[in-house]
Structure 1
Amino acid sequence: MPADRILDRLRAACRTAEPGPAGPAHGDPEHAAGPPAPDGADPVRAAGEGDAIAGVPARYVATPRDTAQAAAVLRAAAELDLAVTVRGGGTKQDWGSPPRRLDLVLDTTALTGVVEHAAGDLITVVRAGTRLDTLAAALAGAGQQLALDAPLPGGTVGGAVATNTAGPRRLLYGTPRDLLIGVTLVRADGVVAHAGGKVVKNVAGYDLAKLVAGAYGTLGLVTEAAFRLHPLPAAVAYVSRPADEADEAARLAATVRAAQLVPTALEVAAPPDGPATVTVLLEGTPAGVAARADAARRLLGAAATVTDQPPDGWGRLPWWAGGTGLKLTAALSGVPRLLADARAAADRHGLPLALRGSAGVGVLYAGLPGTADPERVAALVDAVRATTTAAGGHTVVVTAPPEVRDRVDLWGPVDGLALMRRVKQRFDPDARLAPGRFVGGI
């Protein structure tokens, strides 16, 4: 079908979509976490140079304003057999594998705003295109927070759910999958599904929210998400201590973990050059935080310092755009060995490896510059993957330049892949949603 006729079909679908609720809950503009799309803006257009996903160019871009329009677009895309990939803030479009084919980018940047904020119940329902930093500002007025770190500026709620991305505070609060209590999901065929609810202990039906979290948009489009919230802490303290080696920092972190201080985060940072650092984040009442900070300082030794400000790089991923980023997991007992082996492997291959992550849950991130030799990077990935496997974990290449992607298995061995394929088949039998972006080519 000619491109102009496809555009006409997609535009007609948006025009005829039954409108959903307009604006935030109760019509209260103070609860809005983002502006609506301009009235009269064309929700469908031809793709431009900046509309590629992981280097794969798109043909069309749709920017629906609500769930009804999103469903109409996906229904029309199904009828036209268009492959669709979702884009939010665009901060993680180079994560995962490039799509096998890409016709339509479904942009969520008009799906913004807090639909409901039940402050008394510590619950919020928010649209997927809402930026995490904007949402944080909206909730802070009520003394509350969605306890998710934003490792990349400009990230959205939908992107955090799609990749299940979490930062240092995952030790206490968990990941997006743990904080989700409900979703509105549009399937590949345009059917709208609702799962979960607005109460934390909702147990009715299948837990669809946890299934789609971390699925890289391969099972459906999340247009709204319900989360449980937490109060903002009255006081915080960061207790940091340098260490000569990364594995020494991990052992210091293990000492803190065994002391029952209930830290919010327990991070190790090891740059390519310079000392490693272990940092403990404590939150709570002023008196309680002060007492626990003193205890943490005694555990870490005289070199430890206490401040109410995070250290440089806190919550950020240890790689830059165009570089190689790895996610390394291991059993807690294997974290010191993992850090030591990763550093030794980087030294053998002459690579400047940066390491940062949670020594409290065994999730670390590693970064290499985009200028690193691809053959050496591939060899390092193999070496680190052997270490994480021995430690009961995995190595995933989150992002990498094309020259590195061509030389490595991004995901590595994955348990339950056959089951994951069956789930994908049930949700998206024609494999039109982000085809090939996820593990095993899903």
Structure 2
Amino acid sequence: MTVVDEIAGVPAAAVAEPASTAEVADVVRGAAADELALVVRGAGTRQDWALPPQRLDLIVDLGGVCGLVEHAAGDLVAIVRAGTPLREVQEALRPAGQQLALDEPLPGATVGGTVAVNASGPRRMLYGTVRDLLIGVTVVRADGVVAKAGGKVVKNVAGYDLGKLVAGSYGTLGVITECAFRLHPLPAAARYVSAPAAGPDEAGRAVASVLAAQVVPSALEVDMAAGEGPLTVTALVEGVPAGVDRRAADLRKLLGEETEQAESPPPCWGTYPWAPGDVGIKLTCALSRVPYLLTAAGVTARLHDVPVRVRGSAGTGVLYAGLPGDTDPGVVAGVISDLRAATRAGAGHCVVLTAPPPVRTRVDVWGHVDGLDLMRRVKEQFDPAGTLAPGRFVGGI
């Protein structure tokens, strides 16, 4: 096979570059007729996430399926094509004083890619996740048929909620071409209030005090240096200037004398604690178990003698951990095993989002997932021939 491009190290012989939903449908229909396996690509910022495709003939590049289709400012709704970078969406909405309240941990990420992996950042605490903001979707099925669900109004209960199904499916159920989102007003003011914490327990107490107060943060982040290093708790408050000033003052009282505040985010805010080529891990737990999970991460790092940095939303129980990419795969396997035990104890999960190939072959990146049989049946209904991103998702779906 002549290699034209690749996805996660797997070569493809051809790349299609459609410019509309209709052209995507034509491409997918042709691929289905020829029994070609395909993977969709946006900006490629997360192509190293999940597992490499088990087979790959065609890459469908959605870079040309971009732009704002409609912006109903009065209804706080926008319809956006999948290949549009998130940053361009925000720029288009800003003149109307509105925003799509999704963070951009990886610069250049597109709308479709963000939905496909259900990515979210610090502000999920107030605004919700992709699934919460997505109110409509256009998807090209595996047979090339265009399917639409949802609509242009926030309260739409007609039909099957296809959007929530394809969000986080890693392109295994259909090709997302357009998304309708619920928007929010841009805040007039914002303040980041940060405070150091001596350890996970102190960080947990700080988080609990903020959650119990009437400050209504948009985000509440914790950042723990590699090993059992220092921690920082940062709260973001947004709104009208007078209200933000008052809530920032309340936060300073809650978080102590060493508190710092700024109108711009601190370094590394809303970014993943790993670099390209490193091991990236997503950890979830119940809110009450965040201090325990931070402690467990520190103990695991010391036990395996490897730096583990943790960062994420202490206000929602969604954290991320990073390991150097040159860490021995056997050591990584041990770290993952210990972290999975910790997340299970905290009523959560541990998923390896990205890792070098030697680690992928050693570690089950997804771990145990409830409902796998149901997920397989859904895959069979949507893609009976298994041609959409085969093997990328849980259980080889």
Q: Does 1:168 align with 2:122?
A: yes
1:351 to 287, 296, 306: 306
Q: Please report how far the alpha carbon of residue 247 of structure 1 lies from its aligned counterpart in structure 2 after TM superposition.
A: 4.1
Q: Is the 8 A contact 2:78 2:180 kept in 1?
A: yes
My pick for the range that moved more, 314-323 or 369-378, is 369-378
Q: Please report how far the alpha carbon of residue 59 of structure 1 lies from its aligned counterpart in structure 2 after TM superposition.
A: 1.1
Deviations 1:86-141 (A, max 9, x none): 00000000000111000000000000100000111110000000000111111111
Task: Give the letter aligned to residue 171 of structure 1.
Answer: M
Q: Does 1:326 align with 2:277?
A: no
The answer for the alignment partner of 1:405 in structure 2 is 360
Q: Is the 8 A contact 1:246 1:269 kept in 2?
A: no
1:180 to 108, 116, 134: 134
The answer for the alignment partner of 2:259 in structure 1 is 304
My pick for the range that moved more, 192-201 or 238-247, is 238-247
Q: In structure 2, how many angstroms separate the alpha carbons of the residues matched to 1:306 and 1:277? A: 13
Q: Is the 8 A contact 1:257 1:360 kept in 2?
A: yes
Match of 1:57, SS state, is strand
Task: Give the letter aligned to residue 90 of structure 1.
Answer: G
Q: In structure 2, how many angstroms separate the alpha carbons of the residues matched to 1:411 and 1:392? A: 16
Task: Give the letter aligned to residue 252 of structure 1.
Answer: A
The answer for the alignment partner of 1:369 in structure 2 is 324
The answer for the alignment partner of 1:421 in structure 2 is 376
Task: Give the letter aligned to residue 66 of structure 1.
Answer: S
Q: Does 1:244 align with 2:233?
A: no
Q: In structure 2, how many angstroms separate the alpha carbons of the residues matched to 1:244 and 1:435? A: 46
Q: Is the 8 A contact 1:54 1:98 kept in 2?
A: yes
The answer for the alignment partner of 1:218 in structure 2 is 172
Match of 2:343, SS state, is helix
Root mean square deviation of aligned Cα: 1.0
Task: Give the letter aligned to residue 241 of structure 1.
Answer: A
Q: In structure 2, how many angstroms separate the alpha carbons of the residues matched to 1:194 and 1:285? A: 38
My pick for the range that moved more, 132-141 or 192-201, is 132-141
Q: In structure 2, how many angstroms separate the alpha carbons of the residues matched to 1:247 and 1:226? A: 41
The answer for the alignment partner of 2:30 in structure 1 is 76
Q: Does 1:112 align with 2:66?
A: yes
The answer for the alignment partner of 1:36 in structure 2 is none
The answer for the alignment partner of 1:293 in structure 2 is 248
Q: In structure 2, how many angstroms separate the alpha carbons of the residues matched to 1:412 and 1:255? A: 33
Q: In structure 2, how many angstroms separate the alpha carbons of the residues matched to 1:247 and 1:357? A: 16
Q: Percentage identity across aligned positions?
A: 63
Q: In structure 2, how many angstroms separate the alpha carbons of the residues matched to 1:247 and 1:343? A: 12
Q: Does 1:313 align with 2:282?
A: no
The answer for the alignment partner of 1:130 in structure 2 is 84
Match of 1:365, SS state, is strand
Deviations 1:9-63 (A, max 9, x none): xxxxxxxxxxxxxxxxxxxxxxxxxxxxxxxxxxxxx753xx2111111111001
Q: In structure 2, how many angstroms separate the alpha carbons of the residues matched to 1:78 and 1:149? A: 35
The answer for the alignment partner of 2:189 in structure 1 is 235
2:94 to 104, 124, 140: 140
> Which consecutive unaligned segments of at least 5 residues does structure 2 have?
none
Alignment of 1:94-109 (within 5 A): 94-109=48-63
2:348 to 386, 389, 393: 393
Q: In structure 2, how many angstroms separate the alpha carbons of the residues matched to 1:351 and 1:98? A: 26
Pairs aligned (count): 396
My pick for the range that moved more, 271-280 or 139-148, is 271-280
Q: In structure 2, how many angstroms separate the alpha carbons of the residues matched to 1:99 and 1:255? A: 45
Q: Is the 8 A contact 1:246 1:268 kept in 2?
A: no
Q: Is the 8 A contact 2:200 2:292 kept in 1?
A: no
Q: Please report how far the alpha carbon of residue 271 of structure 1 lies from its aligned counterpart in structure 2 after TM superposition.
A: 1.6
Q: Does 1:209 align with 2:163?
A: yes
Q: In structure 2, how many angstroms separate the alpha carbons of the residues matched to 1:133 and 1:359? A: 25
Q: Is the 8 A contact 2:139 2:176 kept in 1?
A: yes
Q: Please report how far the alpha carbon of residue 377 of structure 1 lies from its aligned counterpart in structure 2 after TM superposition.
A: 1.0
Deviations 1:250-308 (A, max 9, x none): 33112111113210000000121642100000001111111111111100011111111
Q: Is the 8 A contact 1:184 1:222 kept in 2?
A: yes
Task: Give the letter aligned to residue 211 of structure 1.
Answer: L
> Which consecutive unaligned segments of at least 5 residues does structure 1 have?
4-45
Point out 4+ residue stretches in structure 1 off by more than 4 angstroms: none
Q: In structure 1, how many angstroms separate the alpha carbons of the residues matched to 2:345 and 2:268? A: 29
- TM-score calculated relative to the size of structure 2: 0.98
The answer for the alignment partner of 1:34 in structure 2 is none
- TM-score calculated relative to the size of structure 1: 0.88
Q: In structure 2, how many angstroms separate the alpha carbons of the residues matched to 1:156 and 1:238? A: 26
Task: Give the letter aligned to residue 190 of structure 1.
Answer: G
Which is greater in Rg?
Answer: 1
Q: Is the 8 A contact 1:83 1:434 kept in 2?
A: yes
Q: Is the 8 A contact 1:219 1:433 kept in 2?
A: yes
Match of 1:429, SS state, is coil
Q: Is the 8 A contact 2:351 2:367 kept in 1?
A: yes
Q: Is the 8 A contact 2:190 2:244 kept in 1?
A: yes
Q: In structure 2, how many angstroms separate the alpha carbons of the residues matched to 1:107 and 1:254? A: 45
Task: Give the letter aligned to residue 179 of structure 1.
Answer: L
Match of 2:164, SS state, is helix
